[in-house]
Amino acid sequence: MFFVCFKKKLYLSYIFKWTVMKKHYFFFILILSLFKSHAQEMIQEAVVSKSYVGYDGEWQNTSFKTPVIVHSNRLGFLKISGADFLIKLSGDKAKMEENTAYDSAELTSQELVNTKNEKNGLVSSTYKGKLVYKTIDGVYTPDVSVVYTINQADILRLKISNNKNSKEYILDLEIK
C-alpha cells in the first residue's frame, strides 16, 4: 500500500514538474522567437534596369548578356547573380558560368563606413567588405565598396567599386 501511494505521489510530482517545465519552455521559445523576428530585415529582390561603367571619372551606359539579379537589404546584405556582370566587375579574373552554381557573388565582412541623408529624402549608405565569388577555379575575393541609395525601405541604386582593378559600376534597380 505504501509503495503504491508513494508511486502515485512520485508520478503526480513528475506530471506537475513536466507541466511547469513545459510552461517555462513555452515562454523561453516565445521570447526567443520575438527577438529573432524583430531583428530580421527583409531582403529585397531586384533586377538591374540600367547600368553604367566608370572609367577615370567618366560614366558610360553598359549592358550585359544575361539579366543581373540583386538581393539586398538596408543593413548591407548583398548577393548578385549574373555571371556576365560579375566577370566584368572582376576584370576577367573570376571564371564563372551562367545557370550553374558559379554565377553569383556575396558581400561578406561588410562594415558601415558612411551614411548621408540627401535633400530629396534619399539615404546613401556606404559599406566596405569582400565580395566573395564562387568560381570554377575556387574563390575570388576582391575588396569592394558599395554605396546603397535607399528610399524609405527600397534600394534604388547600387554603386560598386572594385578596389583591385579600379572598376566602378552603377546599377539602377527595378524591384520585382
Q: Which residues of the chain have pLDDT under 50?
A: 1-6, 12, 36-38
If one counts every other C-beta atom within 10 angstroms of the C-beta of residue 125, the result is 18
Residue 10's contacts (CB-CB under 8 Å, 6 or more residues apart) are none
Instruction: Check residue 80 and give its pLDDT.
Output: 96
pLDDT of residue 147: 96
Q: What share of the chain is helix, strand, coil (3-state, %, to 5)?
A: 25, 45, 30
What SS3 class is residue 152? coil
Report the pLDDT value the prediction gives residue 103, as an integer from 0 to 100: 85
How is the chain split into domains, by residue range? 1-40, 44-175
- State the pLDDT at residue 4: 45
Residue 49 has what pLDDT? 96
Residues forming beta bridges with residue 78, ordered by sequence position? 72
Contact 64, 82 (CB under 8 A): yes
Phi, psi of 46 (to 5 degrees): -145, 160
pTM of the complete model: 0.75
